[in-house]
Structure 1
Amino acid sequence: MPSPQTTSDEAVTRLRRLDCCAVSDALDQLGLKGQVTGVPKRSGSNGRIAGRVVTLKLHDGPRPDGPVRHLGTTAVELAGPEDVIVVEQRTGLDAGCWGGLLTLGAKLRGVAGVVADGPVRDIDEAREYDFPIFSTALTALTARSRVVEAETNGAIEPWGVPVCAGDYVIADSSAIIFISAEQAPHVLDAAEAIALKEAAMAKALLSGKPISAVMSGDYEHMLEAERVSA
């Protein structure tokens, strides 16, 4: 059985200290894309998930050659505590791209969560397991005879965003954001600087400084100014 990556990833640690708004601002500052909004969190009490991406692509075509495996099982066996499984099921069919047994398997391996561009089923089980799932839709319809696994850890385009295995994702109630592995150091540096500045502004408000002074013209042009200086 494949084992999850056990070495600690500093980028995951840093990403988990941030939120999607700070990361989104960092992408804006750097002229990058990757934000997806309007996708609800369906389960899990943790407010935010973040980690390396393990990809899972489904389609309504023939099964790949080789031994028959149920969709998603390879992704679960490849993933670990610093990973988020990202599923693309963009066939247009009402068919589950993730379900209860996969959720339990991922929970037992400590996987950080699942982000699915497609319908997820057995969501009540995911809630009982307190396992974080973000998805476009819910369904009771099985994948069997409808969709199959096309590839694990290949390139996917959830919500039209190019994503590769080993990229990074963060998701909370504001958004889902994908960050390429190549751009991650720059995005993290920018997001941490933005978060630090906003923390200082919050401290100023708590000390009694007027909000109009705290959120002045400097704040309005903060990302623009940082982009020029970068």
Structure 2
Amino acid sequence: MMALTAATRDKLRTISTATVATALFKRGFRNQFIQNVHPLSPDQPVLVGEAFTLRYMPAREDLNQLSVFRDRSHPQRKAVEDCPPGAVLVMDSRKDARAASAGSILVTRLMKRGVAGVVTDGGFRDSAEIGKLGFPAYHQRPSAPTNLTLHQAIDINVPIGCGDAPVFPGDVILGDGDGVIVIPAHLADEITDEAFEMMAYEDFVTERVNAGQGIFGLYPATDEKSLDDFAAWRKANGR
């Protein structure tokens, strides 16, 4: 599996999840957008990185007491300390935000370790504090109870489902104001290059529509003149 290159990472920071979703759809991928997760702050940076996963299961009460945190191999604590710099910690919290996946202390630790961001299909406690960190973080909604009440951390860096999207370790995660999408690792460069080109055309289209042009033949580009005009626009704008 190829690692995410610096060039691809930089390009992805300029591309929307919507454009990536279209590029994936062209290849038959329909379920890569993580459903019902939202940025904790509208001002947080774009999220880009490779997935490092944590899986929760329904808690069994006799195995999920506060004393489990004395064990340094506890999967939640270990995931926070093992997630590589530049990666994204993605948590399968069973789409259940009734108990928190983590809180501000653990998320701050991820940030200080150089992790790129964090995503859960559950909730975060201390969400207001997390939202002030300037760190890319996505969840379903705020949640105060500790994860131990309902969720049992069970495994690290295995394939998971997060908000109905399949996430394999090493898949590329992109998050913006719309949400989070998962790019299969082997397609990361290909999808990024195509989406980067699509964004250029969409910027051209937006400029034309703002100038009063209609969308027929322009969006999508079914008129050859639209492609000719786009080529001239790219040359004039250095795109």
Q: Which residue of the partner structure matches residue 100 of structure 1?
A: 104
* Worse-superposed segment, 185-194 or 143-152: 143-152
> What one-letter code is carried by the residue in structure 1 that aligns with 2:41?
S
Kindly provide the CA deviation profile for residues 143-197 of structure 1, in whole angstroms up to 9, marking residues without a partner as x. Answer: 2354221111111011222111100111122232111102222211221121121
From 158, 165, 169, the counterpart of 1:154: 158
1:16-95 paired onto structure 2 within 5 Å? 16-33=13-30, 34-43=32-41, 45-59=43-57, 60-61=59-60, 62=63, 67-90=71-94, 92=96, 94-95=98-99
**In percent, how many aligned pairs have the same letter?**
26
* Worse-superposed segment, 52-61 or 30-39: 30-39
Contact 1:27/1:187, CA 8 A, preserved across alignment: yes
Cα distance in 1, alignment partners of residues 124 and 75 from structure 2: 13
> What one-letter code is carried by the residue in structure 2 that aligns with 1:41?
P
**2:117 is aligned with 1:119:** no
Decide which structure has the larger Cα Rg and report it.
2
1:74-223 paired onto structure 2 within 5 Å? 74-90=78-94, 92=96, 94-204=98-208, 208=211, 210-212=212-214, 215-220=215-220
Contact 2:39/2:179, CA 8 A, preserved across alignment: no
Q: Aligned-pair distance for 1:90?
A: 0.7
Cα distance in 2, alignment partners of residues 93 and 218 from structure 1: 43
Q: Aligned-pair distance for 1:26?
A: 1.1
TM-score by length of 1: 0.79
Cα distance in 2, alignment partners of residues 130 and 198 from structure 1: 28
The number of residues matched between the two structures is: 211
Q: Which residue of the partner structure matches residue 229 of structure 2?
A: none
Q: Aligned-pair distance for 1:99?
A: 0.9
> What one-letter code is carried by the residue in structure 2 that aligns with 1:211?
Q
- Structure 2: gaps spanning 5 or more residues: 223-239
Q: Aligned-pair distance for 1:133?
A: 1.6
TM-score by length of 2: 0.76
* Worse-superposed segment, 24-33 or 117-126: 24-33
Cα distance in 1, alignment partners of residues 160 and 204 from structure 2: 38
Cα distance in 2, alignment partners of residues 201 and 154 from structure 1: 41
Contact 1:43/1:123, CA 8 A, preserved across alignment: no
Cα distance in 1, alignment partners of residues 203 and 96 from structure 2: 43
Cα distance in 2, alignment partners of residues 99 and 19 from structure 1: 28
Q: Aligned-pair distance for 1:141?
A: 0.2
Q: Which residue of the partner structure matches residue 233 of structure 2?
A: none
